[in-house]
Chains A and B, each alone.
Chain A
């Protein structure tokens, strides 16, 4: 098997990452592994961070199949903290909240790999964001189950949910009016 990075030397290192049963494999030669930081020698094996920054490097070539993508990115920099995309892929860390928007286009594959396929937050929401987001989520969840009831022809239950959605929507309308 040839190295999937340089396509010249034979792949001598086979790295497998299994998270929640999802398997990603890398087949690389030792030199590329060192250069890309998949492994670090001398310390305690390879650390998660090295592996992580390796994942960033890997995106363009494995996802897109060619390297133009990565060459277009180096000029990209976060307007707020100044972190460049190059730097970001090297350290594998964000510089500020705005980096998430700046590098948005390249983040999903990384998050998917690190968080076993997930890209979207579930769970706690800051109180300061108001109940707005929470309400939106609730309404979306009600809508979904309402559709299921309709398909199952359980119209009474669907109507119940419809009323719940209406009252939630009214609540937020009233609040917005009250605030303005």
Chain B
């Protein structure tokens, strides 16, 4: 079993591919919450029960292959070092909750890291499936395939009236959380996100920062997801989210155009100042780095910067997180040490592109 594969790259293999509307929608995610019938939910289960679930899962699915996804690999969270756990969270392979309650938890990962199935999170199983760009429908179909595959060996807790039964009442029914990660620099710069967020909330959708609940929108990256899971079919939930996301994509495009038309030189100045900061700074905090990366990414999308790949934002956003930096350094680092290493990694990465 080698963890190295999951640890070495800041971005997962699936992220290197481009998807539809990927200048604005970075990724689409489907999450399904599932529980075993006749077993206490992880929240109040005894350690033996959790172990049973974990062992069953490991025995049944370790090295199993599913369709064309290659071999699945099972990782026990308890086997990970604290820094490795952080990296898994920063790459969105596991949730912060799973990393914290690690004694009897695990995760089954596909080779491309596109499918991740968390075991003994808040629910027994949390199936996650990612696709690059804006492809929620496809992600839903593929997540259903994984769900059906697991179901061959597992009887889920399900009630005809209430649907899939979950630990938290906010997930009952479909157990579905569909979400997209969007880069919205122009809407943020023009202060339109403050106006749009409450409107989006009114439609039963939630807007969050990049690392989920309570996190701020680092690097102008927003996560938008459904809140309602009961009484609406998966298809309807995804369609509703899609229609809002399409409108946001449209609005962001318009805002970008307005900016380039009316504030062209100011925008260009801002983009290249950020470019300079990333290229030459010796100490940089993660917040500043995220802001500059967002500007540079916008500069790439709008054609001001020509010799950089779009994926640089996705990649460096993960690379500059504390866990990844410490993994890279192979030891734990103080805040200042991290800021220095961060600056040097960013310089190195940008230099690479210019040659």
Contacts and interface: CB of A to CB of B under 8 A. Distances in A.
Contact of A94 (B166, B228, B236): B166
A121 B173 contact: yes
B65 interface: no
Contacts of B274: none
A81 B44 contact: yes
* Most A CB within 10 A of own CB, among B35, B37, B43, B144: B43
A127 B151 contact: yes
Interface string A109-139: 0110011111111111111110001000000
B169 interface: yes
A96 B168 contact: no
A18 to B, nearest CB: 6
A7 interface: no
Given A20-B204, A114-B169, A116-B204, A94 B41 contact: yes
Interface of B is mostly: loop
A96 B41 contact: yes
A126 B152 CA distance: 10
B296 to A, nearest CB: 29
Given A92-B168, A124-B174, A19 B40 contact: no
A10 to B, nearest CB: 27
Interface stretch (A28-36, A44-52, A140-148, A154-162): A44-52
In this complex, the interface size class of chain B, counting residues with CB under 8 Å from chain A, is 35 or more
Contacts of A79: none
Contacts, number: 132
Given A48-B170, A121-B174, A20 B233 contact: no
B203 interface: yes
A120 B159 CA distance: 10
A69 interface: no
Interface string A9-46: 00000000011110000000000000000000000100
A123 B234 contact: yes
A83 B44 CA distance: 8
A97 B35 contact: yes
Given A48-B170, A80-B40, A96-B41, A115 B228 contact: yes
Given A18-B202, A121-B162, A96 B40 contact: yes
Interface of A is mostly: loop
B232 A123 contact: yes
A101 to B, nearest CB: 8
B168 A93 contact: yes
Contacts of B165: 94, 97, 100
B58 interface: no
B163 interface: yes
Contacts of B169: 52, 92-94, 107, 110-111, 114
Interface of A: 18-21, 44, 47-49, 52, 80-81, 83, 91-97, 100, 107, 110-111, 114-129, 133
30 contacts: A20-B203, A48-B170, A52-B168, A52-B170, A81-B40, A81-B41, A81-B44, A93-B167, A93-B169, A94-B165, A94-B167, A96-B40, A97-B37, A100-B159, A100-B162, A100-B165, A110-B169, A114-B169, A114-B230, A115-B173, A115-B229, A115-B231, A119-B231, A120-B161, A120-B230, A121-B231, A122-B233, A122-B236, A124-B144, A128-B151
Chain A to chain B: the 7 pairs with minimum beta-carbon distance, closest first: A118-B231, A121-B163, A123-B233, A97-B157, A115-B230, A20-B204, A122-B233
